[in-house]
Chains A and B, each alone.
Chain A
Amino acid sequence: MAEQARFDQMGYYDPEKLVRVDTTLPSTGWMDTPVAIRPGTYIYPVKPKHLEYLGMPFARQWAPADPDWKLPPNWKEIILDGIRERLDRFRSFKLFMDICVRCGACADKCHFFIGGGDPKNMPVLRAELIRSIYRRDFTVAGKLLGRMAGARELTPEVVKEWFYYFFQCTECRRCSVFCPYGIDTAEITMIGRELLNLLGIGINWILEPVANCYRTGNHLGIQPHGLKDTLEFFAEDIETVTGVKVNVPINKKGADILFVTPSGDFLADPGTFTCMGYLMLFHELGLNYTWSTYASEGGNFGLFTSHETMKRLNAKIYAEAKRLGVKWIMGGECGHMWRVLHQYMDTMNGPADFLEVPVSPITGTRFEHARSTKMIHIVEFTADLIKHGKLKLDPSKNDRIKVTFHDSCNPARAMGILEEPRYVIKSVCNHFHEMPANTIREKTFCCGGGAGLGTDENMEMRLRGGLPRGNAVKHVRDAFGVNHLAAMCAIDRATLAPVCEFWAPGVRVTGIHELVANALIMKGQTERTLNLRQEPLGEEAGETAHE
């Protein structure tokens, strides 16, 4: 099998070999070690048509392997002006350029460094890639002392290095938890990617979804009628499993609640089962809610592009809430989506003064903590329902499942939604086991494919980056017989499936509302013999893991 597989397929790699991480450092200093771009560890560049559609500059054909990246003639000036502008706009960036003491506390916190060993994947060096340029052109010491002060000249080689390493950071913020000054590499990577985009340098796996989302409302480019078909198809599957025909309200004016979820849940298993879970839950509650085709994306690959792009895509959610006249907004299970909704949306596109403070129509709970954004997380909503005893649940329906919970980076470190998902999972599953303490909650490890890096041509880095998570999963699999990993993130559901298959075979990935829906006793349901994946409920889940 390994002979036929390509570098963008999991079968190409051998866990026994990949786990032997080479930690030897280059004999040359990092400034004198040129970047080596090799297949499996980088992502294909953006196609010109997507940049053109978005009105972004310098659309052209180029390839990372080419010696000449066809930079615009005044590229240096663009970068330096870009740095200057961002130093004036972001205190975070300015401060993080100045105060690092290189204590090294961040070094072994990065999943890519742990699983890959490349020293430039230590967060400190990733930041030094920009700091060295900043020092030379923006500080007196750097101008006078040059390399002595850690400064270096901006050359096309530096741009290549930036491309390689800023697209080897998943903006997971784990290093910022351990940094004594809270230096957040996500901020630095975000700025680094913004600067690259000024030169028309980006990756297709981010910018095609961005262009899609701008046009069709979602990353996948699903058009309105296609979305309707998809949701109705889910409804049919739900009827097959439960005998209940759920309603699918779309673009409904006068609904109380607008529901927005990552579009990954419309297309890719196992996210689709989580999406079915939402449909079943809302139907069972008789919720007056609506899906939207225009705002059919909760995720925001603009976050991985630039602050401006993030705002352009995010604007649709409040605009659609206003057009439909809903009272408040609920968001589905997604990771980076919640970074944007929690930390950026209100600032960028608020104030949402045309909406009301979210109140659960079922329990009457007023979600005061979302009184400004008017948007709550579905797991907060469901936890509140369960706490008030408003759901009829039969956790034994999930008895074949031994589940662990993967905290997704952004909900954990840019929000802190840690207990709600655990409460929900424990309410619908009888067998729950935590992974080791250093790998969960605020110390959770990335799936290896966040921040727009979860594409197959990046397979080697994804598997390497997924090693710390995969190894923790393997630990609970061996210790407790865990056979399911629950995650409330669409990217996790897509990328952790191969990570688990590679590092902890036999463990499947599930969303939380898939588990909820399997345990949910619906009014008028027929006797359940199948789970949402249409597998017999009695069968050992682990046996079906290898199709």
Chain B
Amino acid sequence: MIISALAVVALLGVVYAGVHVWGMHVLFGIVVPYVAILLFAYGLIKRVMGWASSPVPFCIPTTCGQQKSLSWIESSYFDNPHTTVGVVGRMLLEVLCFRSLFRNVQTQVRDGRVAHGSDEWLWIGALAFHWCFLVIVIRHLRFLTEPVPFFVSFLEQVDGFFQVGLPVFLASGFIMLGAVTYLFARRLFSPRIRYISLPADYFPLFLIMGIACSGILLRHLVRTDVVTVKEIALGLVTLHPAGSGLLAKAHWLFFVHLTFVSVLIAYFPTSKLMHMAGVLLSPTRNLANNSRMVRHVNPWNYPVKVHTYEEYEDEFRDKMKDAGLPVEKE
């Protein structure tokens, strides 16, 4: 954990020194983001293609409700889907609502009995974190598009619903920071979760905390020039990167923010963050429970050595005849 924290702090220091001391604006404002996006695209495609290149030999959905069987028994359409529509529904519930995490139950042995209690905190924390992250990503499209699409402006209005402060506090950033802090705190304070955690579990948390903090500071305290930022961002998107003069007008913290994001997306394909793509390919969730209705084909279904009936009867024929059991060969 400490290593992960140090890595993020070191990164902060490098960007500060690089931009503020040595004036390496082009490196952190243009080169790093472009390299990151290339690594992201390459890594993501490679990893997903890698998964897809392995077949799904068996139909192994985890069924979480009543099967489709007799006409008078109602089947569980989404938790145990037998149709493609049902599977799509199950996947949407999983991806949008974290259906499985919602089931979470806390179980422990207390005073000689096994106690079960519902535990939705992880579900709430995860949902808040992921949804706010998505809102923030969409909001940032206003830096990357001209004219700004209506849904981006609309989302920002909703996000700033409370109309507090100037510039208006956007709820998503603060909720996400709170949620990511919660996710970190449970890793830190739950002995069990701490025991299973790897440096690779802390690193993205610290990085995302850094992104959220720098973003909030840029909006509310540092108040970097938004027009400059937009020009830089549009330059990156349109492949006409800004010159060093324009880059130098942005606050150094902006480059910290940008580099943290770049590192996150470059790191993404090699890390557990790939669960975002992986959940869609999970065979226990994305297959219909119809293996008795439709034959699932295994592409590598090689022949195996079996003990044939003939071999069986050859061994036991006399005993079978004595017992009056029918045989093929007398």
Contacts and interface: CB of A to CB of B under 8 A. Distances in A.
B13 interface: no
Contacts of A365: 70
Interface in A133-180: 139-141, 148-150, 173, 176-180
Interface string A378-420: 0010011001000000000000000000000000111111111
A268 to B, nearest CB: 22
A316 interface: yes
Contacts, number: 316
A184 B301 CA distance: 22
Interface string A88-99: 111111110011
A91 B323 contact: no
Interface string B298-326: 10110011111100110110011011111
Interface string A235-253: 0000000000000001111
Interface residues of B, number: 101
A312 B301 CA distance: 12
A98 B278 contact: yes
B285 interface: yes
Contacts of A369: 67-69, 82, 292-293
Interface string B33-72: 0000000000000010011111111111111111111101
Contact of A119 (B195, B284, B325, B328): B195
B275 A224 contact: no
What is the predominant secondary structure among interface residues of chain B facing chain A? loop
A320 interface: yes
A47 interface: no
Contact of A417 (B69, B79, B98, B315): B69
Interface in B244-297: 270-272, 274-275, 278-279, 281-285, 289, 291-297
Given A114-B109, A343-B291, A182 B285 contact: yes
B201 interface: yes
Interface residues of A, number: 119
A128 B320 contact: no
B190 interface: yes
Contact of B196 (A19, A128, A178, A439): A128
Contact of A87 (B54, B112, B272): B54
Interface stretch (B100-108, B132-140, B207-215): B100-108
B116 interface: yes
A443 B105 contact: yes
Given A114-B114, A177-B64, A294 B107 contact: no
Interface of A is mostly: helix
A420 B316 contact: no
A471 B199 CA distance: 38
Interface string A300-341: 000000011001100110011001000000000000000000
23 contacts: A20-B109, A21-B109, A23-B108, A25-B195, A98-B51, A102-B196, A128-B196, A180-B279, A181-B279, A224-B320, A225-B325, A228-B324, A251-B325, A293-B316, A312-B304, A312-B305, A347-B301, A370-B293, A412-B63, A414-B62, A415-B63, A416-B80, A420-B69
Given A92-B56, A102-B272, 16 more contacts: A89-B54, A95-B283, A99-B282, A104-B186, A150-B200, A180-B126, A184-B284, A225-B316, A253-B326, A347-B58, A347-B298, A348-B298, A416-B63, A416-B65, A438-B107, A442-B79
